[in-house]
Amino acid sequence: MNKRNLALVALALSSFLVACNNPDKSSNSVTDTTSSVVKLDTGAYQRTINGKQTNLYQLNNKKGAVVQITNYGGRIMSIVVPDKNGKPTDVALGYDSVQSNQKKGEPFFGALIGRYGNRIAKGKFNVAGKPYQVQVNDGVNTLHGGTDGFYSKVWDAKKINDQTLEMTYLSKDGEAGYPGNVNVKVVYTLTEDNALKIDYSATTDKETVLNLTNHAYFNLSGEGNSTITDHELTIAASGFTPVDTTLIPTGKIQDVKGTPFDFTKAKVIGKDIDAADEQLKNGKGYDHNFVLDKISSDKPVAIVKSPISGITMEVYTTEPGIQFYSGNFLTGTDKDGKGGKSYGHRSAFCLETQHFPDSPNQPSFPSTTLKPGSTYQTSTTYKFLNK
């Protein structure tokens, strides 16, 4: 084959890959730029659930970063960014189909969490002097909104442009036991500097509690890598909220100094994770809320780095707390991760920005009350570098 024909073949192949990269064409698989990254089939994410259509959406920037999100639970299923050698690497755990996200006991991979992120003791609280009992789904407590949380809802999705996806949902009064009709909007934006920004807003017609977050699971060495205990972590928090055996905060804020929870300077996650410590025993590792020292839009509250890929993730937020979860309850029993991968014990971590767990029952914690006439607004950014 002569050089001219080779050039034509290369051009045709390039055009084909660009066409396949269109997330809104239901007949095409979403394609990335390397065979080492699992290609999610858009068709596997198209299903009718409770009368609403699910789909898979893709955000792209000019640097080649790719984020894939399904409107089932607003779940982030893939984040592809370059490693230190420029190789595209998927750093987010996820599934090959929407059905896998529906299975019983799934760990909320990449999900939008609400109405209340984290735990509420015994699912009970008072709002405006009235007692409420919400769904209990974590032993005796409520976790991530209950059995009918936002993670299981089909959101209305609108692609604003190649880099922005808007999702909206009306949570009706009494849903999962929570008061008020709550209108929620979440906007995902993939920026040109390889950052995924998540902006949350909400209003209510009745006084309620609200605490929204995202439950993305990360492995900066690449999803499917066996561990995150070799990652280096920094958290700008001099205190954390200790928990009881059911992972409900005691109400105290404990100094991290001299404990395994001191990440004020960069430390390998695995260094102290198995230390003889009551709090680590309660969480079976790290599963705790850190009280952030200072909130600033231009200063990260957490930094994580993989020694293998060289990928660094910086977290920025307007929230007062961040839940560091070290993947203690992942088992790897079901080999149903992307491409049939097994996501084993501590093969991923979460950094969930939030108000504190059980705040409705802890008057000393920042309030999660939302009243009519007020607008809930919060923002979190995950920025990826390969320096």
| Residue 182 placed within a domain | yes
Which H/E stretch holds residue 98?
A: helix 98-101
Domain-located, residue 67:
no
Burial of 235 (0-12, 13-18, 19+ CB in 10 A): buried
Whether residue 12 lies inside any domain: the answer is no
If one counts every other C-beta atom within 10 angstroms of the C-beta of residue 239, the result is: 18
Task: Tell me how far apart the alpha carbons of residues 56 and 68 are, in angstroms, rounded to a whole number.
Answer: 7
Could you tell me the pLDDT band of residue 265, with boundaries at 50, 70 and 90? very high
CB-based burial of residue 284 (10 Å sphere; 0-12 exposed, 13-18 middle, 19+ buried)? Answer: middle
Tokens for 357, please give them: 């767990």
Q: Is residue 270 situated within a structural domain?
A: yes
**Quick check: is 89 in a domain?**
no
Domain hosting residue 169, numbered range: 102-148+164-385
Whether 17 maps to a domain, the answer reads: no
Which CATH number belongs to the domain containing residue 133 in this structure? 2.70.98.10
Q: Are 245 and 293 in contact (CB under 8 A)?
A: no
Domain membership flag for residue 118: yes
**212 assigned to some structural domain:** yes
Other C-beta atoms closer than 10 Å to the C-beta of 318 total 16
Least confident of 61-65, 86-90, 292-296: 292-296
The pLDDT value given to residue 23 = 43
Nearest to 317 by CA among 345, 295, 339: 295
Mean pLDDT of the 128-144 span? 97
What is the DSSP secondary structure assignment for residue 170, as one 8-state letter?
E
The pTM of this model reads: 0.90
**Residue 298's pLDDT is what?**
85
Name the domain count of the chain: 1
Whether residue 196 contacts residue 385, with contact meaning beta carbons closer than 8 Å, is answered with no
By annotation, the residues acting in catalysis are: 215, 352
